[in-house]
Amino acid sequence: MIPPEKRRLTLSVERFALKNPFVISRGAKTEAVVVVATIAQGALAGRGECTPYARYGESVESVAAAIESIRAEIESGADRFALQQLLPAGAARNALDCALWDLEAKLCGLPAYQIAGLSRIAPCVTAFTLSVGTPDEMAQAARSAAERPVLKVKLAGEGDAARLAAVRAGAPDSELIVDANEAWRPENLDENFAACAAAGVSLVEQPLPAGADDALAGRRWPVAVCADESVHDREGLAALRTRYDLVNIKLDKTGGLTEALALADEAERLGFGLFVGCMVASSLAMAPALLLTGRARFVDLDGPLLLAQDRPHGLRFDGSTVFPPESALWG
């Protein structure tokens, strides 16, 4: 019996310029900086992309160091399930987990969605994100995107009611979801939720800081509430049930597709709706998350639409409809 060929792990840091500055309550960025893990075995290779996120104490250097710390295990054949014990949830594990999914699909000659037990990946509609700005700036951005069916509106706290009114005026027919990125406070919840209801908003994402969201508990808010920064993986999920209606599943938070699928199962069991989200990154980061979209009430995988130029073999978009990946990209 011929032993399997030894694996080879390589890392690269890649930068993608954005079409426009991406602004949220915590700051602005003009490029997406990602770490790509490639795991080769023989002539085949699997890739995974992650976005280190300072909000979670991550940097390119820390993510690369975390991956390097288990190089020996990965190159010796550790699989996706062993990986869950080797690294905690986060960007580093995500890059490796998605690379292992991709490699497994190529070695088996099966698409990743079949390995995950799915019959297909259907095209889906993604939200399109509007950055934080003045009401006039956001109204103009909304007018420019008014043909898109779902807009995700970034908010910043003070002045959000005016921002919402301006966006609604600019895009009267789009479904709106908003993301406060932890910028609201308990004392202005009622005012801000009322402004959302007046603008016909369907969902409010992470209004309060993670770990300081007790004020959401036990209230029936006029708009559905989704946890983002407050949920990473299955740990602690049950405790959020009285505060949130949905959970935002991002592979960079869960540490890859393996935990994301398990989180989706547990969230549905507990009665949460699902939101599939992303960091600002290329199509390589979005592709694995498409395996979750058939179960989601909302999808926000617009990262490639925000880039000046995506990577080769990127996802195909028709307006806001995103299609399954080619095998040359992932899976």
Decide: 200 and 178 in contact? Cβ < 8 Å: no
Catalytic residue among 106, 152, 250, 253: 250
For 159, the token pair is 């002045």
Residues 128, 126: Cα–Cα separation, whole Å: 6
Instruction: Tell me if residue 250 is catalytic.
Output: yes
Catalytic residue among 106, 152, 154, 253: 154
Give the position of tokens 């820390």.
Answer: 62
C-alpha atoms less than 13 angstroms from C-alpha of 130 in its C-beta half-sphere: 33
Q: Which residues contact 193 (CB under 8 A, 6 or more apart)?
A: 204, 221, 222, 223
Instruction: Tell me if residue 253 is catalytic.
Output: no
Decide: 286 and 250 in contact? Cβ < 8 Å: no
Edge-to-edge order in the sheet of strand 224-227 = 128-130, 150-154, 175-179, 201-205, 224-227, 246-249, 273-276, 298-299
For 65, the token pair is 């160091």
> Which three-class secondary structure state does DSSP give residue 283?
helix
Could you tell me if residue 90 is left (phi over 0), alpha (psi between -120 and 50 degrees) or otherwise beta?
A: left
The residues assigned a catalytic role are 154, 250
